[in-house]
Amino acid sequence: MKTKIRIVTLCSLAILLAFGMDSTAAPKAGPAADPKPSPSVSADWQKKWDDTLAAARKEGELLIYLNGPASARTALQDAFNKKFGITLNIVMGSGSVISSRLDSEYRAGIHQVDAVLAGASSSMTAKKQGFLSPIPPLFILPEIIDPSVWLGQRLPAFDKEGMIFPFLSQAIPPVIYNKSMVREGQITSHLDLLKPEWKEKMVMFDPTISGASHAWVGRLTQALGVDKTNEFLTALVTQQNVMVTREMGQQMEWVTRGKYALAIFPQTPAVSQYLSAGAPIEAAPFKDMTGVSPSNGVLALPKHPAHPNAVIIFVNWLLSKEGQTLAVKSIGLPSARQDVPPEGVNPMFVVKPGSKLYIQNEAFEIQVQGWSPAWKKIFTQARG
């Protein structure tokens, strides 16, 4: 019997999840990001800060590209301008739009942007094109350099060169369910998805493209091995007749309306949107693993900033406890700083203490690229 799998229009924000590690230990599997040691605190940091701030005020302004809610734009501008007397200009856009804009500008020799706040995938693209510079050399404030305040007791490191800095850190639910169709505790493992009661009742975000599903299947491969993961995917599409979509809004709409009971590996922006609208949905975490992603909370620095001193002030302020507290409130996701409470954040996005964490980094994404051809083959054969 031919499976019911179907692909609908792509309308997704790329969310990468990645590397597995305990919250207090080095990664246990796969190639490590091998981050450089934390930069040391300068003994004269206060003088360096004062001198940089004076130079930044002479520059008078800076420009950042931001992929985030409108509330974040207003909050960041108002707070930064008020505190430092420096005009913070912000251009909004999706990750793909920002990536294309930076590419066009740099190829044309236009160097007007000072910092980019977007997602990991768009930041990786800019890095591959040679447009970024390392971030740690800009750190001045001791509270930023202190590894004890960050998740995992070390500075967030997406890449070993230090060009991509994830300042947000949210738990990504692997399954979202309709509360009128599924009881709490019915789904606690990927194996629960293969039970007969869920046949033809699940819609899955396509794991063959960049996104939460792509990364979650990568995490399963890391944990279970290639063969067992491919067997799981094959069972989903042939035994369970899972519906597959590339439209994150459609996936959540179907589950909210009860057309399907379970949304497998959904995109976080859509989940957050439907939660805010009062949808009758809840998360079903896997008890043996927690995926952690910065979503769009990634800082990257173009190689040629137009305002080199103002951007240093911005970076240090953004990553400080004060800046991160504001980011959490305005963006609605938890900070990678563990001394910043997740005020106003839905509990399903907050990393629970003691969780076995799978945290994003560049090395994992490279590894996933080697696994994904097999997934594409499974889903292509199912569609045929």
**Which amino acid, one-letter code, is at 318?**
L
Strands 175-178 and 281-283: antiparallel
Transcribe 152-215 into DSSP letters: GGS---SSTTS--EE-B-EEE-SEEEETTTS-TTS--SGGGGGSGGGTT-EEEE-TTSSSHHHH
DSSP three-state, residue 335: strand
Cα 288 versus chain centre, distance: 20
DSSP three-state, residue 18: coil
Tell me: pLDDT of 293 over 70: yes
- pLDDT bracket for residue 2 (50, 70, 90): very low
**Which comes out higher in pLDDT, residue 213 or 300?**
300
Side-chain-side CA neighbours of 132 within 13 Å: the count stands at 26
Q: What is the percentage of the chain residues whose pLDDT exceeds 90? A: 59
Give me the mean pLDDT over the 212-236 stretch.
91
Q: Are 1 and 199 in contact (CB under 8 A)?
A: no
pTM higher than the cut 0.95: no
State residue 171's pLDDT score. Answer: 87
- Residue 16 CA to residue 4 CA, distance in Å, equals 27
Q: Are 178 and 261 in contact (CB under 8 A)?
A: yes
Torsion angles phi and psi, residue 37, rounded to 5:
-55, 150
Tell me: pLDDT of 35 over 50: no
Neighbour tally for 84: CB within 10 Å: 16
**Which amino acid, one-letter code, is at 242?**
V
Superfamily of 45-168+295-341 according to CATH: Periplasmic binding protein-like II (3.40.190.10)
State residue 39's pLDDT score. Answer: 63
Give me the mean pLDDT over the 112-125 stretch.
90
Neighbour tally for 301: CB within 10 Å: 27
- Residue 159 CA to residue 137 CA, distance in Å, equals 15
Domains in the chain: boundaries: 45-168+295-341, 174-284+364-383
Q: Are 175 and 347 in contact (CB under 8 A)?
A: no
Give me the mean pLDDT over the 125-148 stretch.
95
Q: Are 68 and 331 in contact (CB under 8 A)?
A: yes
Of 282, 337, 316, residue with least CA distance to 136: 316
Of 165, 92, 93, residue with least CA distance to 124: 165
Give me the mean pLDDT over the 307-331 stretch.
96
- The pLDDT tens digits for 96-110 are 889 899 999 999 999
Widest distance between CA atoms in the chain:
73
Dihedral sign for Cα 244, 245, 248, 249, please.
negative
Q: Are 281 and 270 in contact (CB under 8 A)?
A: no
Quote the tokens at residue 56. Answer: 């930044």
- pLDDT bracket for residue 383 (50, 70, 90): low
Quote the tokens at residue 285. Answer: 């975490």
State residue 115's pLDDT score. Answer: 98
- The pLDDT tens digits for 258-269 are 999 999 999 887
Give me the mean pLDDT over the 324-335 stretch.
92
**Which comes out higher in pLDDT, residue 206 or 382?**
206
Whether 45-168+295-341 and 174-284+364-383 share one fold: the answer is yes
For the chain, state the CA radius of gyration: 21
- The pLDDT tens digits for 299-309 are 999 999 999 99
- pLDDT bracket for residue 25 (50, 70, 90): very low
Tell me: pLDDT of 188 over 60: yes
**Could you tell me the CA-to-CA distances from 264 to 17, 46, 307, 338, 365 in Å, in that order?**
15, 50, 44, 29, 20
- Residue 181 CA to residue 177 CA, distance in Å, equals 8
Answer whether CATH 3.40.190.10 is correct for domain 174-284+364-383: yes
State residue 120's pLDDT score. Answer: 81
- Residue 327 CA to residue 333 CA, distance in Å, equals 8
Q: Are 222 and 370 in contact (CB under 8 A)?
A: no
Give me the mean pLDDT over the 14-41 stretch.
38
